[in-house]
């Protein structure tokens, strides 16, 4: 008997949940959140994953209904997945449908929709709505329609909950924060020294770390301007993929090409957190930055804008520094941390303490509580741990 078929008996039984997401290959961000949910809860829940991709190690513990769609461009991928993902979700015949959404995902009726990113919220933050082009307005309208079809929304932070409540005042909203593995993401002096030595960085040089695949939204251009302005010669490491040619040219124009290292996508990103001195994220819009919490767990003070999730982490500058999305504001924060090792240590220690409270087990319990509530409304008695 496979893991996906155990527990299907009369009375109390394991619930069957269709998890719907574009990608479940085990990468970063939304992808990682879903993979952690499956890895930690597949013994309590029978999962069918509806996605384009699936991590190899999960294929023996879940059913996989592959939903073909092109990788790019995004609009074609989104529209194709609406059809293929929607059809595969219907075929799953699950007790519950749980969608992890970054914009519109499927047009089906959904039980629980975890909102990782809102196109409408992003467009509003960017000044695109109202009065923007036809494509953004149609995209935002389609997203609103998809979200309204959910029985319950799950927000990743208190700020995200407030935004969703203002937009959908009659809908039920729960907060299910992401988790972080504080045993993996932890300070390590040996790794710090090894990575710095490999990259030719002295111990007394300050490294600002940026980790993202959405360079424009997350503010890489602002950071480059800040590095050029900051006194003391701080260095910048960039991890992830983006328009490297454009940003390298920006560094060269400002005379800081030697101070910025583009390190590409890293499968073992924790080593670079351990080798850095601070994490910087002047993002335009977030629902919750998983990278910021992982950096904090590794003992890095966080320099970030007041987007959802960051004020909850940083507090009143106990675990980092809140900044405006301007090069001057970011430069001032980097200068302050670069020149004061004791301050970096104090803020980093508090950042780790706060992040360590957000375990993946806590995150999964919140999701299972939502499942339990939704199933009870259907008269299903799930065999779920409390």
Is the domain of 59 the same as that of 27? yes
- Per-residue three-class SS string for the chain: CCHHHCCCCCCCECCEEEEECCEECCCCCHHHHHHHHHHHHCCCCEEEEEECEECHHHCCCCEEEECCCCCCCHHHHHHHHHHHHHHHHHHHCCCEEEEEEECCCCCCCEEEEEEEECHHHHHHHCCCCCCCCHHHHHHHHHHHHHHHCEEEEEECCHHHHHHHHHHCCCCEEEECCCCCCCCCCCCCHHHHHHHHHHCCCCCCCCEEEEECCCHHHHCHHHHHHHHHHCCCCCEEEEECCCCHHHHHHHHHHCCCHHHEEEEECCCCCHHHHHHCCEEEECCCCCCCCHHHHHHHHCCCCEEECCCCCHHHHHCCCCCEEECCCCHHHHHHHHHHHHCCHHHHHHHHHHHHHHHHCCCHHHHHHHHHHHHHHHHHCCCCCECCCC
144 within some domain: yes
User: Is 253 within a domain?
Assistant: yes
CATH number at residue 36: 3.40.50.2000
12 and 152 fall within a common domain: yes
Answer yes or no: is 140 within a domain.
yes
The whole-number pLDDT of residue 6 equals 42
183: Cα separation from own chain's centroid: 19
Same domain (yes/no): 106, 250 = no
Q: How far is the C-alpha of 166 from the C-alpha of 91, rounded, in Å?
A: 34
Closest to 144 in 3D by CA, of 112, 122, 119, 161: 119
Domain membership flag for residue 255 = yes
CA distance 356 to 345: 16
> CA 240 from chain center: how many Å?
13
Please check whether residues 163 and 272 belong to one and the same domain.
no
- Shared-domain flag, residues 214 and 264: yes
Q: On the CB side of 131, how many CA atoms lie within 13 Å of its CA? A: 2
Q: State whether 157 and 246 are in the same domain.
A: no
Same domain, yes or no: 251 and 239? yes
Q: Name 256's Cβ contacts closer than 8 Å, sequence gap at least 6.
A: 224, 227, 228
Residue 302 in any domain: the answer is: yes
Cβ atoms within 10 Å of 9's Cβ, excluding its own: 9
* Residue-level pLDDT at 385: 65
**pLDDT in the model for residue 36:** 92
Residue 15 lies in a domain: yes
Co-location of 39 and 125 in the same domain: yes
Instruction: Count how many domains the chain has.
Output: 2
Give the C-alpha separation, 286 to 155, whole Å.
11
Domain co-membership, 324 together with 365 = no
Domain membership of residue 104 as a residue range:
3-179+359-376
Strand-by-strand arrangement of the 278-281 sheet: 260-264, 235-239, 207-211, 278-281, 302-304, 320-322
The angle formed by the CA atoms of residues 237, 240 and 245, to the nearest 5 degrees, is 80
The Cα 21–Cα 93 span in angstroms is: 17
Give dist(CA 22, CA 45) in Å, integer. 20
Please indicate, yes or no, if residue 31 is contained in any of the structural domains: yes
**Confidence (pLDDT) at 101:** 83
Q: Is the peptide bond before 87 cis (omega within 30 degrees of 0)?
A: no
Q: Are residues 225 and 117 in the same domain?
A: no
Q: What pLDDT is stored for residue 8 in this prediction?
A: 40
The answer on 221 and 111 residing in a single domain is no
Q: What is the pLDDT of residue 165?
A: 96
CB-facing half-sphere around the CA of 327: CA atoms within 13 A? 13
pLDDT tens by residue, the chain, 386 residues? 334 444 443 456 789 999 999 999 877 778 889 999 999 999 999 999 999 999 999 999 999 999 999 988 888 998 899 999 999 999 999 999 999 987 778 989 899 999 999 888 998 898 886 666 667 888 888 888 888 989 999 999 999 999 999 999 999 999 999 999 999 999 999 999 999 999 999 999 999 999 999 999 999 999 999 999 999 999 999 999 999 999 999 999 999 999 999 999 998 999 999 999 999 999 999 999 999 999 999 999 999 999 999 999 999 999 999 999 999 999 999 999 999 999 999 999 999 999 999 999 999 999 999 999 999 998 776 667 66
Within-domain flag for 238: yes
| Separation between Cα atoms, residue 317 and residue 156, nearest integer Å | 21
- Please, which residues bridge with residue 281 across strands? 304
Stated length of the chain = 386
Closest CA to 152 of 109, 92, 90: 109
Q: Do 297 and 363 lie in a common domain?
A: no
User: Does residue 171 contact residue 149 with C-beta atoms inside 8 Å?
Assistant: no
């Amino acid at each position: 008997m496979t893991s996906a078929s155990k527990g299907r008996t009369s009375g109390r039984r394991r619930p069957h949940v269709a998890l719907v997401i574009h990608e479940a290959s085990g990468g970063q961000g939304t992808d990682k959140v879903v993979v952690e949910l499956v890895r930690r809860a597949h013994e309590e829940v029978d999962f069918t994953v509806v996605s384009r991709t699936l991590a190899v190690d999960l294929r023996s513990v879940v059913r996989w209904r592959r939903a073909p769609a092109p990788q790019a461009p995004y609009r074609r991928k989104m529209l194709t997945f609406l059809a293929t993902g929607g059809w595969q979700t219907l075929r799953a015949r699950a007790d519950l449908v749980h969608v992890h959404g970054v914009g519109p995902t499927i047009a089906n009726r959904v039980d629980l929709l975890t909102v990782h990113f809102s196109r409408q919220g992003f467009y509003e933050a960017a000044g695109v709505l109202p009065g923007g082009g036809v494509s953004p307005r149609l995209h935002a309208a389609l997203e609103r329609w998809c979200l309204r079809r959910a029985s319950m929304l799950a927000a990743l932070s208190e700020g995200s909950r407030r935004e969703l409540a203002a937009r959908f005042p009659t809908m039920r909203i729960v907060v299910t924060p992401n988790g972080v593995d504080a045993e993996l993401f932890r300070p390590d002096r040996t790794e710090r020294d090894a990575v710095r030595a490999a990259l030719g960085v002295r111990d007394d040089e300050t490294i600002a770390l940026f980790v993202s695949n959405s360079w424009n939204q997350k503010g890489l251009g602002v950071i480059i301007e800040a590095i050029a302005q900051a006194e003391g010669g701080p260095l910048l490491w960039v991890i992830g993929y983006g328009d490297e040619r454009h940003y390298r040219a920006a560094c060269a124009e400002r005379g800081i090409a030697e101070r910025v290292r583009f390190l590409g996508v890293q499968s073992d990103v924790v080593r670079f957190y351990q080798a850095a001195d601070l994490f910087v994220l002047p993002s335009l819009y977030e629902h919750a930055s998983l990278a910021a919490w992982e950096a904090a767990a590794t003992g890095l003070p966080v320099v970030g804008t007041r987007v959802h999730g960051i004020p909850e982490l940083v507090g009143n500058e106990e675990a980092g520094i809140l900044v405006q999305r301007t090069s001057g504001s970011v430069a001032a924060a980097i200068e302050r941390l670069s020149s004061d090792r004791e301050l970096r240590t104090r803020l980093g220690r508090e950042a780790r303490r706060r992040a360590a409270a957000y375990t993946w087990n806590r995150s999964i319990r919140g999701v299972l509580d939502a499942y339990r509530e939704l199933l009870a409304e259907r008269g299903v008695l799930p065999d779920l741990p409390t």
